[in-house]
A = this chain, B = another copy of it.
């Protein structure tokens, strides 16, 4: 057994008390408690379940100063980022309470008997029900929004599934404090014991994914770590759904017309986006396709060069960033627009880097250059014509987002949007991918390797669907039907009846 010790990224020094690994027996016990309470949580009226989520949001808001201070010591993400992230995390919990109140999420569908159908059928009614206990793997880079009470937890609880969170070792103290506050808030709001637990330590991860009572997994993290856990989930005797949000390169295309009209403004936007949070965003723009000889590289260099060092979350991530930079610059034909030598410092500080390469070289070395390098680096890919642009764009692996900077009536725009759609989950025009709205329409997902399952999202209202499965009721008398499907529609749900939306 080892200890999970928070470290201050600004100094490299330990902060807070170390938290011991959760042993295998304690992991099993957390899952057992989750399984035991699953029927009660599943049976709670939607409004009551919504109140659990609201209570968690309130707990975050009531302890915001304390939690932000804790988070800052372990992550150095500072202000205004951390207060914004806490507010967003609380709002996300409230949003899922709204989703429960709305009720459409359960997808109630009723088909009355029809003797003339081919084949004829009786009374058939369908709705979604909770999958059962869910394991959630917290991310390093969003200590609130993708951690203990982040989107995976919020959507799983909303679905009626108890959650066991594997805390991220980058912020163990914050994770444990949030867990304690959540446990208290849930108990006060009437949640059954076992609704939410938090476990620590590397070995707790595989133990969770292979526990027979765990019915699904939500994961945010690296491609390597995610793939290893995915392989465990799908390799079980009874495979379970694994929703992994992994690496993402997030290509950006800048058209000739856009560079001409507002190159400097786009360069400033890019500089802001790829350096945000020291480049530690799954939506960081990692590859920017720009017209060759347009002078855009110099405009970016002008904006980025005055950068101050900023700390990465962990020493390991700092080292991985420097190694990734070195791998990029080792490719013949890659030039440093803004170089970033490793710093000799106590903490985890790094400098931002901007690289450039022609589109042909990029496409030929996409195995390296189109890989994700977590940290403040972006690669300018210089294209000469439509063909080289699209070839380079198609060499970028599946991503969470793809962006286009274009002018009104830009002749290049439609084709780029079409190519982007094949490879990404969110298309942005004249904006930047960092900053993920929490809405009904959000999709935070994408083709492999952005995620392990392109059908699902980890942000937005439809994230709940990952933890629900359909059940149909055939000729079941009204008194044995769940309220969602009863004739009188006591919950007032939007339903499809005999083919028509009501």
Contact = CB atoms under 8 A, between A and B. Distances in A.
A491 to B, nearest CB: 15
Interface string A430-468: 110001011111110101110011110100101001101
B452 A239 contact: yes
A499 B425 contact: no
B88 A442 contact: no
A429 interface: yes
A477 interface: yes
A91 B494 CA distance: 27
A166 B408 CA distance: 47
Contact of A125 (B126, B441, B449): B441
Interface string A350-382: 000000000000000000000000000000000
A260 to B, nearest CB: 19
A407 to B, nearest CB: 11
Given A117-B437, A449-B238, A472 B102 contact: no
Nearest to A240: B448
B441 A126 contact: yes
A428 interface: yes
Number of copies: 2
Contact of A124 (B126, B442, B471): B442
Given A427-B474, A476-B429, A455 B465 contact: yes
Interface string A276-291: 0000000000000000
Nearest to A403: B474
Interface string A118-129: 110110111001
Contacts of A417: 476, 480
A472 B425 contact: yes
Contact of A472 (B110, B398, B443): B443
A394 interface: no
A96 B333 CA distance: 52
A87 B87 CA distance: 56
A261 interface: no
A440 B499 contact: yes
Interface in A407-425: 408, 413-414, 417-418, 421, 424-425
A163 interface: no
Interface of A: 39, 84, 87-88, 90-91, 98, 102, 104, 107, 109-111, 117-119, 121-122, 124-126, 129, 131, 230-231, 234-235, 238-241, 398, 408, 413-414, 417-418, 421, 424-431, 435, 437-443, 445, 447-449, 452-455, 457, 460, 462, 465-466, 468-477, 480, 494, 496, 499, 501
6 contacts: A126-B440, A126-B443, A424-B471, A427-B476, A443-B472, A501-B501
Q: Top 6 nearest A-B pairs by Cβ distance?
A: A121-B437, A91-B118, A443-B472, A126-B441, A234-B234, A109-B441
